[in-house]
Amino acid sequence: MEDILAEELRALGVSAVKSAIAGAFFEGDLADAYKVCLWSRIANRVLLQIASFKAANQDELYQGIKKINWFEHLSPDGSFAVTFNAKNSEAINNTHFGALKVKDAVVDQMRAKFDKRPNIDTLKPDLRINVLLKGENCTVSLDLSGESLHRRGYRDTTIKAPIKENLAAALLIRSKWPEIAKNGGSLIDPMCGSGTLLVEGAMIAADYAPGLLRDYYGFLGWKKHDTDCWQALLFEALQRKTAGIKQLPVITGFDKDRRNLNAAHIHIENIGLQGKIHLECRDIANAAPAKSWKPGLVICNPPYGERLGDEEEIVELYKAFGETLKSKFQHWQAAIIISDPELGFCLGIRSQKPVRFYNGALECKLLRMKIEESVFFIPQAKTADERIAQINAERRQAERLDTEDDLAETLGLSSLSKPESDDEVESGAAGFANRLQKNLKRLRTWKTRYKISCYRLYDADLPEYAVAIDVYESNETWVNVQEYEPPKNIDPHKANRRLAALLAEIPKVMAVEPDHVFLKIRKKQKNTEQYEKLGDQGHFHIVEEHGCKLQVNFSDYLDTGLFLDHRPMRLLIQQQAKGKRFLNLFAYTGSATVHAAIGGAIASTTVDMSKTYLDWAKANLALNTVRGEHEFIQADCLEWLKTESEQPYPRQYDLIFLDPPTFSNSKRMEDVFDIQKDHVRLIQQAARLLAPGGVLYFSTNFRRFKLDVEALSMLSIEDISAQTIPEDFGRNPKIHYCWSIQHGTQR
């Protein structure tokens, strides 16, 4: 929601808006801060930063808080509360203890000056102090909102609702309700529950300030509160609300449960919109707009399945909802909140790219659709013929052939016509889908704990489905499928049918559109460069890894630009790079350079022979906010390393990553390179650029590789392969080998 919040702040007219993790920054005067408290539909809290200092221990925290002149903000006989958060702090990791230290510092300062101390009030204090201790950096703020801004004041606290008000508003905004409302479009929630989406939608359409009903803000008891400024903003908001309510479009809610409708009536009355929002008791199958209602937005937060408990019942509900949309809401737009991706397919309607968000701790997706005849589809949108045609095209690309006749001749076939499907293929596809689901479940906790968004989901787990499947998650999800070249004794027709069935199952299991699934046919490359270009679509997507933003491409190259098996290696470089000089050889797209820069490297050198990949590396670095001096050199790494290592005073680096190809005979290289034959010379040359105490990490993915330890006996070498194989590559521990190399003889 950070980007939506930043857009909202800009629309409110404040300056220097910048998105951050779980929030946004802005600059302005007190009127701007009041305006955001009153008008933000997205924010939870508005924090005014008043101090920052280093706090490496409890005493430094106490003294730093005590240095702030609290009398500027709080009277000695007033009340206050402390919210304390700590992240990566060795000094204080107990938030309750941290809050007590802050409270003691404020009370001790006041008592020393006035012989009187303020009271603690955790519900509605005059001043709420917010302290964030991140590492050794402490930021102190005043919580001007006082309590979360999602509490608008209209919801009955005894009524449990499934979605918070600010999240409901964010989803309406992402569904383009503000634009639809301006054009007079209608809003319908066919499973409205207690009416949160209806009320928030009406407030947006009526220009109704979301904070207008609140009787408590954190600044009302603050000593610097400007009453006149606040009253002027309230008066303006009242005028805008009065004018806006007169122009409300049709807003209607249906629900089959009268208790839900009673709760919705209470909330509508509390907000003062009785008579402006229409409610009816209707089952989803009977939900329909009146002919006079202008097409607009259908939005709802249907049961996720947890509440109904009956899987068959919830599936039937979603199917009925899809039929209702298709039959009764032609030319409307729809937005549906789901937690189970499989349920989205039950609707039978093509959606735009899903928006991922969290409703509390539950990961959900917002599906947005235009209800037109042309968008209806069965989940297996591509026919078997179409999928096999795609596979054959990929095979021709891999074989460098021009026509299907050429491919047929290469495979020893008379034709490439698709044979009839059989039960064996269908049964195998079901088993494959089941394995994917099990892998997703197995990796879920690991992904969450380590914040992994790009990972290998499947690696030839079932011999008859010999593919690797990598998932890339960002604002949307992409799936990259790489087929391992089948043995010569496998019937190509059978391999094609299996691959076609596999491609049909992936979108269903992963809840992605078929065009988000990319297929690559891998073959042994003969007399070609390692990363040959396959296409020229230029579609790049941004993903994140351990705080680093990186570009990937699924259509133009055999590899995506990010080797997922080296994720732990990149993290190790990031953790060790602070204050160091880093060298990245055979750098490819420079992902290791980005990790080093994010980790605090003071300088880096990135070397690769390809201008395309070097430009990609520069673009990757530019996506991130980093410091230090970073140079990019286009050169044959073998020649560059040889030249630099032979200098009387060669360059010196504290950290080197050497990940050469297994084999290369590029036209731009003078000699053929073979990692087994040439690795000793390569490592020795790289070690000459290693500063005292520095570390060289050498890696290769050549499975039959044997490190010549005897020839490298003057170096200290440690095999770290096992610790650099990530969880998602556990089935394939020989995906790469890796060594840590330093100066000094081996032990």
Please report the DSSP string for 593-651 in residue order: HHHHHHTT-SEEEEEES-HHHHHHHHHHHHTS---SEEEEEES-HHHHHHHHHTSSS--
Mean pLDDT, 10 residues at a time, over the chain (747 residues)?
93 93 93 97 96 94 96 95 90 88 96 93 95 94 96 86 91 96 96 95 97 96 96 97 95 94 95 95 92 95 59 79 90 90 74 82 87 45 50 52 45 40 63 92 92 94 88 93 70 73 89 88 49 56 95 87 96 97 96 97 96 94 94 95 94 96 63 86 96 96 92 94 93 91 75
Closest to 612 measured CA to CA, from 555, 557, 669 = 557
Tokens of 720: 């770290």
Q: Are 202 and 251 in contact (CB under 8 A)?
A: yes
d(CA 421, CA 418) in angstroms, rounded, equals 8
Same domain (yes/no): 439, 354:
no
Element (H or E) spanning 351, and its range?
Answer: none
Same domain (yes/no): 270, 410:
no
d(CA 666, CA 617) in angstroms, rounded, equals 21
Closest to 635 measured CA to CA, from 615, 663, 609 = 609
Single pTM value for the model: 0.54
Angle between helices 384-399 and 492-510 (to 10 degrees): 120
Q: Does residue 726 belong to any structural domain of this protein?
A: yes
Q: CA triplet 506, 507, 508: central angle to 5 degrees?
A: 90
Q: Which of 341, 375, 409 is the last residue of a domain?
A: 375
The predicted structure's pLDDT at residue 420:
38
Q: Are 1 and 357 in contact (CB under 8 A)?
A: yes
Q: Does residue 312 belong to any structural domain of this protein?
A: yes
Residue 365 sits at φ, ψ, to 5 deg, of -135, 145
Same domain (yes/no): 561, 703:
yes
Same domain (yes/no): 91, 190:
no
Question: Coil, strand or helix: which one is 163?
Answer: coil
Same domain (yes/no): 204, 107:
no
The enclosing domain of 564 has a CATH number of 3.40.50.150
d(CA 243, CA 220) in angstroms, rounded, equals 27
CA–centroid distance for 186 within its chain = 32
> The tokens 């992240």 sit on which residue?
87
d(CA 517, CA 510) in angstroms, rounded, equals 10
The predicted structure's pLDDT at residue 380:
35
- Give 123's contacts (C-beta < 8 A, 6+ positions apart): none
Q: Does residue 526 belong to any structural domain of this protein?
A: no
Query: Starting from the edge strand earliest in sequence, which strands make up the sheet with 79-87, in order?
Result: 47-54, 137-143, 127-134, 79-87, 119-120
Domain count, the chain: 4
**What is the b/e burial string over 652-673, where b = at least 16 CB atoms within 10 angstroms of the residue's CB?**
ebbbbbbbbbbbbebeeeeeeb
What separation in angstroms does the CA of 190 have from each of 83, 124, 295?
Answer: 40, 37, 14
Same domain (yes/no): 47, 172:
no
What is the 3-state secondary structure of 231-258?
Answer: HHHHHHHHHHHHHHHCCCCCEEEEECCH
Residues in the chain: 747
The predicted structure's pLDDT at residue 485:
66
Q: CA triplet 211, 212, 215: central angle to 5 degrees?
A: 85
The predicted structure's pLDDT at residue 304:
60
The predicted structure's pLDDT at residue 535:
47
Q: What stretches of 451-581 show up as alpha helix (H) in DSSP?
A: 492-510, 567-576
The pLDDT tens digits of the residues spanning 556-602 come to 888 899 999 999 999 999 999 999 999 999 999 999 999 999 999 99
CA–centroid distance for 80 within its chain = 37
Q: Are 293 and 223 in contact (CB under 8 A)?
A: no
Q: Which of 492, 521, 550 is the last residue of a domain?
A: 521
Same domain (yes/no): 583, 502:
no
Same domain (yes/no): 508, 445:
yes
**Type of residue at 384:** A
The enclosing domain of 420 has a CATH number of 3.30.750.80
For 506, the domain range is 384-521
Closest to 600 measured CA to CA, from 629, 585, 580, 620 = 580
- Positive/negative CA dihedral, 686, 688, 691, 695: positive
Enter the DSSP assignment of 322. Answer: H
**Type of residue at 268:** I
Q: Which of 493, 521, 549 is the last residue of a domain?
A: 521
Q: Are 620 and 543 in contact (CB under 8 A)?
A: no
Same domain (yes/no): 410, 304:
no
What's the number of CA atoms in the CB half-sphere (13 Å) around residue 699?
A: 28
Helices and strands, number each (H, E), in the chain? 20, 29
Q: Does residue 183 belong to any structural domain of this protein?
A: yes
**Type of residue at 20:** A
- The radius of gyration of the chain's CA atoms, rounded to the nearest angstrom, is 31
Q: Does residue 153 belong to any structural domain of this protein?
A: no
**Type of residue at 229:** C
Q: Does residue 120 belong to any structural domain of this protein?
A: yes
Q: Are 188 and 296 in contact (CB under 8 A)?
A: yes
**Type of residue at 683:** I
Tokens of 385: 């013929």
**Type of residue at 744:** G
Q: Does residue 218 belong to any structural domain of this protein?
A: no
What separation in angstroms does the CA of 103 have from each of 88, 129, 138, 404, 660?
Answer: 22, 9, 15, 77, 57
What's the number of CA atoms in the CB half-sphere (13 Å) around residue 353?
A: 9
Same domain (yes/no): 426, 478:
yes
Same domain (yes/no): 40, 116:
yes
- Cross-strand partners of 138: 53, 133
> The tokens 């909102």 sit on which residue?
145
Q: Does residue 568 belong to any structural domain of this protein?
A: yes
Same domain (yes/no): 671, 704:
yes
The predicted structure's pLDDT at residue 302:
86
**What is the b/e burial string over 360-397, where b = at least 16 CB atoms within 10 angstroms of the residue's CB?**
eeeebbbbbbebeeeeeeebbebebeebbbbbbebbbe
Question: Coil, strand or helix: which one is 101?
Answer: helix
**What is the b/e burial string over 176-211, where b = at least 16 CB atoms within 10 angstroms of the residue's CB?**
ebeebbeeebbbbbbbbbbbbbbbbbbbbbbbbbbb
The predicted structure's pLDDT at residue 621:
97
What separation in angstroms does the CA of 249 have from each of 171, 276, 560?
Answer: 19, 9, 47
